[in-house]
Structure 1
Amino acid sequence: MASVSFPPGVPIAWLKAASLRKEIIFLKKSEMQMTDQDVKYLEDLQEEFDFRYKTMQGMEQNDKNNVAVKQEMLMLQEMLNTVDFRRKEVLSKLAQVIKEMEDLMKNTLVEELLEWKRRQQIACIGGPLHGGLDQLQNCFTLLAESLFQIRRQLEKLDEFLVKLTYEGDSIPLQRPHLLERVNFLLYSLFQSSLVVEKQPCMPTHPQRPLVLKTLIQFTVKLRLLIKLPELNYQIKVKATVDKNVSTISSRRFVLCGTHVKAMAMDESANGSLSVEFRHLQPKEMKSCAGNKGFEGPQMVTEELHSISFETQVCLYGLTIDLEVSSLPVVMISNVSQLPNAWASIIWYNLSTNEPQNLAFFNNPPAIPLNQLLEVLSWQFSSYIGRGLNADQLGMLAEKLTGQQVIYSDYQLSWSKFCKEHLPGKSFTFWVWLEAILELIKKHILPLWIDGCIMGFVSKEKQRVLLKDKAPGTFLLRFSESNLGGITFTWVYRSESGEEIYHSVEPYNKGRLTALPFADILRDYKVIVADNVPENPLKYLYPDIPKDKAFGKHYSSQPNEVLRPTEGGDKGYVPSVFIPVSKILSDSTDPPSPSDLLPMSPSVYAVLREHLSPTVMETALSSPYSESAD
């Protein structure tokens, strides 16, 4: 599968941010140090001039006519020329430093911040863990400190005017413009420095950020990338929902809980000025107009909303208003809406890096299939610990497109992904895939992590894989017609040498709650033509002995028929689940609802004593035709 061009990974980002930090440090240590020295030299020079000038002014008129005084006058004129030259030189150097900082901000720092935000979007939908915010904080802080240092130098130059100014003086001509540029850069730097470090997320669904349920608490964390001790506990942040934003939804919300908090230095190694809201919950406001035109869970899950945060920084005579918004969130009122809401979050954050486009689903763009497939693999790696390989993704691609395509050339529509039913089915592709994710997470996770489950393989492909394999070779795959179902298919040979394939009725969450899947594979029996029960499963594809593949996942000893102890356990007789199937010749018979029959050991023992083996197995079995799902 072709690789996807997503933003650079964490190591590259760290290197770039580290390089930027070194550049700012070099600028601060070299040119800033030089301008400091120049300002200090200019201050000393001007003080000497001021002293000598005032000394000469204090002389008597007669003393001013002698040769020594005239020489002193020439010396003062020369010193004034030097002061003028030095003033122009300092202002020129300050202008150059300001320009270099402006270039760093516009061409590097802002770009790095945008790349971090894009990496955060990708991480929100299951992509690689993003990082680099500590490095960015170092860069922002160093740049802010440097700009404040320049500001102090410009203020120092203003003090020089009190003692000395003259016609053509460069300080009153150039200083106001330079100060305006510095203040503008500080405003811009601060306004960019407020970021949403952790996007809104319900603690109950940590792997599904940006989906919020009404009246359920969510958390969100903000950070100011400029870390200055003077700001500790001085910045109060207020959270609001859909502030001054026009949404496509007629639903309106308010935030309940603590929605104003102060930023504080955290206790991490690097430390940061941050605030975390942990007790916010959205509440829908009742409207007389109702929700006409927006009824139904499908439309609700396409509505995008915004959580905004605003504050004000007052520092060194500057007052700066700051505001930042979360990535768009989806508000749901029922947990059943979560899968489709999560699909909307995936599609938005994969499609665009716009921080706020709440009308996105008015006309959602198509997505390159190769990018979508990689994101689908992320859903498995982030949610259940193991991603998908190229073969598994190939099966998903065919299911999405109905054909074999070149991934990089195919554009998949939003409707095809999440709104249109699969051919001949009553559900969409995404609902089908989400049901599989839930099945794995809750019932067969260890088998998935160990790679025992091939999972995504079509009915046609499974025959190709099992062809020419040893009898009893089987593979595990997800049902294509049953939501959240898993089945196994095995191959054996008839007396004539013909290869025959059988698949069992898919196991869903209800049946897997009764008995672990690994135990089912171990104990599974079929009643063959001569009514002798046997386990047809010998080797996990391609050739791994079954007990070697699943042995560590067995939760109990093989089922044995035991007579109950007198009185049983607390008066109850233990039951045993016996997975039994009967292969019939007529393949058109409908499958029975279950092949797991609970039976107490005592009943089983009585049947063994009074019935022949053939009759007994028929009584125990759930006869249905084995048909490939």
Structure 2
Amino acid sequence: MAQWQELLKLDLALQSRVSQLYDERKFPREIRHYLCVLLEGQDWDAAAVDENKASMCFHVLLVYLEEQWKHSVQENNILQGPDFSWMKDYLLKHFKDEPLNLAVILSECLKEEKKILTSASEAHGCGSPAMDQKWKELDNKVNELRRQTSEVKKGMKSLELLNENLDFIQKNWQSQVEEHNGLAQSSPFVVGECLKRINFITKTKQIVLQQIVNILNLAHQMVATLTDVELPEWKRSQQMACIGCPVDTSLDHLQKWFTTVADVLLRVREQLQKLQDQNKKYNSTATSSLPDPIAENERFTQLLFTKLLADALVVEKQPIMSSLPHRPQVLKTGVRFTVAVRFLANLPEFKCLLKVKPVFDKDVEEAKTVKGFHHFVFNNDDCRVLDVDTPCGGLVGEFRHMSLKHKPKAKGSSESHLIVTEELHIIKFVTEFQHAGLKFDIEASSLPVVVISSTNQVVSAWASVMWCNMLSIGEPRNLSLFVDPPPLTWQQLSQVLSWQFLCAGQRELDQNQLSYLRDKLVDDPDGLVHWSKFSKNENAWIWIDGILDLIEKHLVDLWRDGFIMGFVSREKSEVLLQEKQSGTFLLRFSESNKEGAITFSWVEHSNGDTHVHAVAPYTKTELLNSSLPIIINNYSLRAKRNMHRNPLIYLYPDIHKDTAFGHYDNTSEMSAPNKDGYVAKTPVYVSENPTPPPSPPMEMPNMDIDIDLDMDVETTLEDQQLFHEVVSELLNLPGEDIWTSYQEVAQAQINRSC
């Protein structure tokens, strides 16, 4: 199977990582999707280092797109099919003169895709022997259901033949009796043979009925397991995946089990109907006592079938806006979002049978009882018929162009006592099942969504979604959760925070980072985190989200590779660095900048003294102009006589900066002449040479202030000497005498401070 098809089966969080690959490189995912087989068939690794091969691969793409475009024209399928003409124009516009750049992009993306698939496979296989065993047992049970159903089918065929033979003998014997008087009395053998056949038919029917009872008993177990255990577990996994948990949310297993059990129940129902028809057709004393057990089994079959299918409709893809791939369940009025439903009983008879309609806040009590609850409606609520035109072949309906608008409030209605980012809503999908004489309604609900009207509300809305998904388990959903929001345990919150960093930077938080955040967020003796501390009054989440945005936009590689310590206090960083060799530095996030900023601290040992310095934090605006590895590589201090030096040598604990950041630094590429023949300018980041007082002792309070080294600091004695030499020369004064007296005063000040 194509690599792209495997990626389409991954959960939402992993698919978002794939999407981010192409968004970062500004390469359309539509081209990757529709040319998946062709793209994966080319050797882009070789093309990325060979311009001739890159040109050849590029030409192959253009030829293929041209052929597909002509085919679309011939088939009169321009509007319904992919826009191959646009794809060709896009490639020509962006890569006609730089096919090597295209090869590099695709080589990198395909490699990253494989890493994502590998990580998904490892996550699925790691620590899940119990899960594998459980799935194996369920597979064995559905296989046993198939086998037993096949045996019943064979038994019914035998029963049909036996009844036909007996009916033939009885009718043929009766006609002979009518033609020849007294024949019945003279042929006791025929009568005895008929009785034997009737007894055998009776026993065969009892065997078949018992086989059906066995099937129904096993099906009852399976239905209970699927609807009461497996499906809720999958829904909980999906709920965690929506907030970043790296879990498998594939529906392949559930669809297989639902489909098999539904098929078995349909076949059993058919066999029971055949048995009923046989009783009517071959009306004999041997079958007069059988209709009741048949009817009872048929009622039980219908009950199981209805229970199974009533839970078979699921929201496979939760509501999500394309602009927020990492943050489903946050919807903005007037902005398009996508949601998909799937019917797990994927039988041919059900294709195009179900017409699903979305309904916003259907039967929601909060809409009636919560003061000032906001009301929304769909801009369009078109239905979808579940079909199998999907790569996985499932009965799927995808709503791709949904959007919401405010429903006007009734006159005199009061304002909500909940802010809009704390209001929870649901989308229900309703349909009617009507098949083989059965008719009943089916519903599926989305996870709670938050509807906002401004992009400024996204951060707060996502905090509500995380809080809700960690606390709101099972159905019906508690949409009044934030009227009096329960606290989260630190274990719950630390998990969800760690997942956010996994989504943003492909690496979770380690124990040291979590410990730092715990000290920031937990002040409850029971280890609880309250909603007001996290996202209302103190709003620590705003600061954390700013760091997540900083990582996602500027620091993904450094964070993923573990080179950013990040969450460490100023005081702690000084303690860690004091015992290290001069030039050792670490990277940490600013504690004062709420929009996300990063700084570095380094240590210097001189004349028996140890000094730890920190540079003013770099914001997103500054990192837009230059990457952090380049800043670190080009950073320098202005020392005496305007000489410059880079004080950053070893990344904590002892990794040389060239080893750590060498492959991120593209200054060598920048130094190459561009098309115009110019060499790109490399920025240099300069600070005055600092010599601050020794770092404060451990018992002193942490001031938590980031020092800007561009500010004036205490100069060294050598700098002072240079200054007075210049002054003496300018004023024509005896410089040596001035310097000697100044040196004595300075030394006395130092002695007093010590």
Q: TM-score, normalised to structure 2's length?
A: 0.70
**Structure 2 CA distance, aligned partners of 1:161 and 1:198?**
48
Q: Write 1 or 2 for the structure with the bigger share of strand.
A: 1
Equivalent residue, structure 1, for 2:238: 120
Equivalent residue, structure 2, for 1:605: none
Following superposition of structure 1 onto structure 2, how do residues 325-340 of structure 1 map, counting pairs within 5 Å? 325-340=445-460
Is the Cα–Cα contact under 8 Å of residues 116 and 131 in structure 1 kept in the other structure?
yes
Is the Cα–Cα contact under 8 Å of residues 667 and 682 in structure 2 kept in the other structure?
no
Note the C-alpha offset of 1:14.
Answer: 5.5
Which of 136, 139, 159 does residue 277 from structure 2 map onto? Answer: 159
Equivalent residue, structure 1, for 2:76: none
The 1:165–1:366 alpha-carbon spacing in structure 2 relative to 1, beyond 3 Å, is farther
**Structure 2 CA distance, aligned partners of 1:581 and 1:149?**
84
Which residue type is aligned with residue 583 of structure 2?
G
Equivalent residue, structure 1, for 2:219: 101
Deviates more, 1:431-440 or 1:256-265: 256-265
Note the C-alpha offset of 1:40.
Answer: 2.2
Equivalent residue, structure 2, for 1:518: 629
Which of 202, 220, 242 does residue 321 from structure 2 map onto? Answer: 202
Deviation string 1:395-426 (CA, Å, 9 cap, x unpaired) is 111111259x9xxx7332223322231xxxxx
Pair 1:261 & 2:372 matched: no
Equivalent residue, structure 2, for 1:438: 549
Equivalent residue, structure 1, for 2:350: 231
**Structure 2 CA distance, aligned partners of 1:311 and 1:129?**
29
**Structure 1 CA distance, aligned partners of 2:165 and 2:669?**
100
**Structure 2 CA distance, aligned partners of 1:7 and 1:124?**
21
The 1:361–1:264 alpha-carbon spacing in structure 2 relative to 1, beyond 3 Å, is same
Following superposition of structure 1 onto structure 2, how do residues 284-433 of structure 1 map, counting pairs within 5 Å? 284-289=406-411, 292-294=414-416, 299-355=419-475, 356-401=477-522, 410-421=527-538, 428-433=539-544
Is the Cα–Cα contact under 8 Å of residues 258 and 280 in structure 1 kept in the other structure?
yes
**Structure 2 CA distance, aligned partners of 1:160 and 1:613?**
120
The 1:319–1:485 alpha-carbon spacing in structure 2 relative to 1, beyond 3 Å, is same
**Structure 1 CA distance, aligned partners of 2:564 and 2:326?**
23
Is the Cα–Cα contact under 8 Å of residues 585 and 648 in structure 2 kept in the other structure?
yes
Deviation string 1:325-365 (CA, Å, 9 cap, x unpaired) is 11111111111111111111111222232242212222333
Is the Cα–Cα contact under 8 Å of residues 615 and 709 in structure 2 kept in the other structure?
no
Secondary structure class of the residue paired with 1:265: coil
The 1:234–1:612 alpha-carbon spacing in structure 2 relative to 1, beyond 3 Å, is farther
Secondary structure class of the residue paired with 1:417: helix
**Structure 2 CA distance, aligned partners of 1:193 and 1:18?**
21
The 1:68–1:360 alpha-carbon spacing in structure 2 relative to 1, beyond 3 Å, is farther
Equivalent residue, structure 2, for 1:16: 134
Deviation string 1:185-222 (CA, Å, 9 cap, x unpaired) is 11111111111111111111111011111111111111
**Structure 1 CA distance, aligned partners of 2:125 and 2:557?**
32
Is the Cα–Cα contact under 8 Å of residues 587 and 601 in structure 2 kept in the other structure?
yes
Is the Cα–Cα contact under 8 Å of residues 330 and 450 in structure 2 kept in the other structure?
yes
Note the C-alpha offset of 1:468.
Answer: 1.5
Pair 1:212 & 2:347 matched: no
**Structure 1 CA distance, aligned partners of 2:168 and 2:184?**
20
**Structure 1 CA distance, aligned partners of 2:126 and 2:668?**
50
Which of 380, 393, 416 does residue 271 from structure 1 map onto? Answer: 393
Pair 1:281 & 2:403 matched: yes
Give % identity. Answer: 37
Secondary structure class of the residue paired with 1:324: strand
Which residue type is aligned with residue 339 of structure 1?
V
Equivalent residue, structure 2, for 1:600: none
Which residue type is aligned with residue 431 of structure 1?
I
Equivalent residue, structure 2, for 1:488: 600
Pair 1:185 & 2:304 matched: yes
Whose relative contact order is higher, 1 or 2, with alpha carbons under 8 Å and at least 6 apart?
1
Q: Write 1 or 2 for the structure with the bigger share of helix.
A: 2
Note the C-alpha offset of 1:469.
Answer: 0.8
Secondary structure class of the residue paired with 1:308: strand
The 1:371–1:120 alpha-carbon spacing in structure 2 relative to 1, beyond 3 Å, is same
Which residue type is aligned with residue 363 of structure 1?
D
Following superposition of structure 1 onto structure 2, how do residues 530-541 of structure 1 map, counting pairs within 5 Å? 533-541=644-652
The 1:281–1:15 alpha-carbon spacing in structure 2 relative to 1, beyond 3 Å, is farther
Which residue type is aligned with residue 136 of structure 1?
L
Deviation string 1:31-76 (CA, Å, 9 cap, x unpaired) is 2222222222222222222222223333238634654334433433
Deviation string 1:8-39 (CA, Å, 9 cap, x unpaired) is 9777646533431232112221x222222222
Deviation string 1:249-308 (CA, Å, 9 cap, x unpaired) is 62111112353111111342x42111111100111112145774437xx72111111011
**Structure 2 CA distance, aligned partners of 1:152 and 1:555?**
70
Stretches of structure 1 lacking an aligned partner (at least 5 in a row): 1-5, 422-427, 561-568, 597-610, 616-629
**Structure 1 CA distance, aligned partners of 2:494 and 2:125?**
17
Note the C-alpha offset of 1:592.
Answer: 9.3
Deviates more, 1:160-169 or 1:500-509: 160-169
Is the Cα–Cα contact under 8 Å of residues 538 and 546 in structure 1 kept in the other structure?
yes
Pair 1:463 & 2:583 matched: no
Is the Cα–Cα contact under 8 Å of residues 636 and 684 in structure 2 kept in the other structure?
no
Equivalent residue, structure 1, for 2:564: 453
Note the C-alpha offset of 1:91.
Answer: 2.1
Provide the aligned C-alpha RMSD in A.
Answer: 3.4
Secondary structure class of the residue paired with 1:170: coil
Secondary structure class of the residue paired with 2:662: helix
Q: How many residues align?
A: 571
Deviates more, 1:67-76 or 1:255-264: 67-76
Is the Cα–Cα contact under 8 Å of residues 515 and 577 in structure 1 kept in the other structure?
no
Equivalent residue, structure 1, for 2:266: 148
Which residue type is aligned with residue 448 of structure 2?
P
Which residue type is aligned with residue 502 of structure 1?
H
Deviates more, 1:515-524 or 1:437-446: 515-524
**Structure 2 CA distance, aligned partners of 1:47 and 1:243?**
55
**Structure 1 CA distance, aligned partners of 2:612 and 2:400?**
55
The 1:378–1:261 alpha-carbon spacing in structure 2 relative to 1, beyond 3 Å, is same
Which of 559, 579, 583 does residue 686 from structure 2 map onto? Answer: 579
**Structure 2 CA distance, aligned partners of 1:68 and 1:379?**
92
Is the Cα–Cα contact under 8 Å of residues 611 and 692 in structure 2 kept in the other structure?
no
**Structure 2 CA distance, aligned partners of 1:336 and 1:14?**
44
The 1:66–1:259 alpha-carbon spacing in structure 2 relative to 1, beyond 3 Å, is closer
The 1:434–1:613 alpha-carbon spacing in structure 2 relative to 1, beyond 3 Å, is farther
